[in-house]
Structure 1
Amino acid sequence: MGKNNRIPLVSVCCMTYNHDKFISQCLDGIIQQKGNFSIEILIHDDASSDHTRQIIEFYRDKYPDIIKPLYQEINQYSRGVNIWNTYMFPLVKGEYIAICDGDDYWIDQYKLEKQITFLQKYADYNLVYTNKIVINELGTRVIRNHPKYLSGNLFVNLLSGGNPITTSTVCIRTHDAFEIMDIVNSIPFRTVMGDLQLWLALAIKGKFKYLAFKSTVYRLSSISLSHSLSVNREIRFSKHEYFIKKYFADIFQVNIDKKILERTYYKNTIRRLFSFRKEIFLSYVFKSVKKDPFLIFDIKIITLVGVKLLKSIL
């Protein structure tokens, strides 16, 4: 990776909040990228109350041409501010944008080179993403049910199915990101949760490519998988996705049955709750089937229930 003594080719955007246990690993994974290109690392620290800021300052002193922090004195996420639109994207200088959240980290030193090479070769693709490894806060690998990885024109797939894209694996062109901001900003409700709206807006304008290698370690939240707050968070996340999908289907006049969107909401929530305790998972499955009896014939749900029951026996 070249030193950033010129306009960077890649702007790596990193959002962090109380990640002092993880931010060093995140930054090391970015800095260790190999390739004949320069980067900048834009770090937005959302008023962390731990030692995250001090660690970022250590890295800025060590890599002053690369590390470019932005510190908040008051937490912006809790105030409903869209941090990407308001703070991150306006600072981007690179031709490409990659994202790595502060509690995730990259494990492939050629991640950026592989993704940039693809985008340079294929102009009709505007987003590249990869596989990942999932761990918990203790660093233990976690097996989670995940939507099928897909390539091509994915707009309808994103509306009617799950979201296969993990944010910290993504690389996009900067001009594509700026072109969709009007679409994203037109959404008439709060969208600080997740990045599905970005992927949907990008999918309208171009194709996505899944590169089949594991570039990233994605860290699950520290909230216990048996904690009611965590369950409610997963359900809220799915509801948020439902409203985002309905909005995009309406404004772009996609002929998709509302019942399909509702069924997708139930299926995605069931998938998200698969890692939780058997009682929590099965309780939500039964509630969902009661609201939409056709779910009982879904082979993926049948498989998840079977696996969960089998694990409880073994």
Structure 2
Amino acid sequence: MLNSGNSIDLSVVCIAFNQEGYIEDALKGFLSQKTTLNTEIVVYDDCSTDKTREIISRYAQMHPEKIRLLFPDENQYSKMRTLPTITALGAARGDYIAMCEGDDYWDSEDKLEAQYQAMQAHPDVALSFHPAINLFPDGKKTNNVYLGDAVKLLSFEDVIKGGGGLMATATLMFKRCAVAELPAYLEGAPVGDMFIQMVAASKGGAVYVPGVYSMYRREAENSWSSERSALAKAHLLKERDAFVMSLKRTEKLDVAPELVDYCIARELAYLAVAALKSRHYDLTKQFLSESEALYKGVNSSQRVLSRFKHALPLLRGLHSLKKKFL
């Protein structure tokens, strides 16, 4: 269970690891917020081996009234991937929580206030998010999350079908009381953001807030997106089993079994792509077959892989050329 409420209106939760080149942007984004909310900034550093912890400590010394540090003595991610998330969220004291990973940052000083006001206008909704921008190492920017210029209400089913990619982590704000049982879903899960969204959205869906931006660094050093091109078969199979186990648990949220199958099919398609990037072509075919057996046409990844399943090395080569020249 997460902590009970107190006088803090909102907790900003940041999880960092070896992000000395990025963490200062994240901290500046937190501290620049113009809001009437009583906020705290909870920064969890998972035993970085670079200067990340040194930078965080310096900012905490400058803003001791605002920043709280969580510095474990040993790396927790290596024990369980979602353990840092469980611990950091468990330490949050605010009635609301906003998240941002250490390599991302907020590009608007009005982010917190805009989201909070939108949630006040829709009191039955426990989750909100907003547009995000992909930021690549070469400075290129593309839309990551953009659903238009008007406020939109999404149903619980919309959120589930959108998957983890529907809402960038740095765009999330949710009521802490809505995720009190979150650890039960995160234990053993490969990733945390998708399950945070699902659990929070089970209390009324979600509200999309336009005009507020977070920058999501793609292929940043030590980020999730940078890890997906050299994975061992055993790792991918273990990840598959963890996704299936974790998604099956969501039936307790009154998710229809066919919707659970849809989610599993989607994640299997993404794992098939990871297997392709790692040159495990037999495993690519296995994951693709398992995905199609549950839900055919679940996403573009599945459809493209199906079209090229007899020429997977060619497909991988085309993908590499696209990344190199575009």
Partner of 2:312: none
Distance 1:110 1:139, change over 3 A: farther
- Offset at 1:255? 3.5
**Normalising by the residue count of structure 2, what TM-score does the alignment of the two structures yield?**
0.73
Partner of 2:85: 84
The secondary structure found in structure 2 opposite 1:186 is helix
Partner of 2:193: 195
1:59-208 equivalent positions in 2, closer than 5 A:
59-80=59-80, 82-85=83-86, 87-136=87-136, 138=137, 140-141=139-140, 151-154=153-156, 156-160=157-161, 162-163=163-164, 164-177=166-179, 180-181=180-181, 184-187=182-185, 189-191=187-189, 193-208=191-206
- Offset at 1:237? 5.5
Compare 90-99 and 235-244 and name the one that shifted more. Answer: 235-244
How many angstroms apart in 2 are the aligned matches of 1:310 and 1:186?
Answer: 38
1:247 and 2:245 aligned:
no
Q: How many residues align?
A: 299
1:300 and 2:300 aligned:
yes
Distance 1:42 1:301, change over 3 A: closer
Give deviations 1:170-206, integer Å, cap 9, x for gaps: 01122223xx32xx34349513632222222222222
Give deviations 1:216-251, integer Å, cap 9, x for gaps: 111234365783139987886665443322221267
For 1:36, give the aligned amino acid: T
Give deviations 1:106-147, integer Å, cap 9, x for gaps: 1111111110001111111111112212234x3533669879
The secondary structure found in structure 1 opposite 2:131 is strand
For 1:186, give the aligned amino acid: A
For 2:75, give the aligned amino acid: N
- Offset at 1:79? 2.2
Asked if the contact 1:242/1:261 (under 8 Å) is kept, the reply is no
How many angstroms apart in 2 are the aligned matches of 1:281 and 1:146?
Answer: 30
Partner of 2:311: none
For 2:221, give the aligned amino acid: S
Out of 230, 233, 243, the position equivalent to 1:228 is 230
Partner of 2:215: 217
How many angstroms apart in 2 are the aligned matches of 1:249 and 1:286?
Answer: 28
The secondary structure found in structure 2 opposite 1:264 is helix
Asked if the contact 1:127/1:171 (under 8 Å) is kept, the reply is yes
For 1:199, give the aligned amino acid: Q
Where in structure 2 are there 5+ consecutive unaligned residues? 1-5, 308-314
How many angstroms apart in 1 are the aligned matches of 2:267 and 2:286?
Answer: 13
How many angstroms apart in 1 are the aligned matches of 2:144 and 2:296?
Answer: 18
Partner of 1:22: 22
The secondary structure found in structure 2 opposite 1:99 is strand
1:9-48 equivalent positions in 2, closer than 5 A:
9-48=9-48
For 1:16, give the aligned amino acid: A
- Offset at 1:10? 1.8
For 2:229, give the aligned amino acid: H
- Offset at 1:12? 0.4
How many angstroms apart in 2 are the aligned matches of 1:19 and 1:93?
Answer: 25
Identity of aligned residues (%): 21
- Superposition RMSD on alpha carbons, in Å? 4.0
- Offset at 1:152? 2.1
The secondary structure found in structure 2 opposite 1:97 is strand
How many angstroms apart in 2 are the aligned matches of 1:226 and 1:205?
Answer: 33
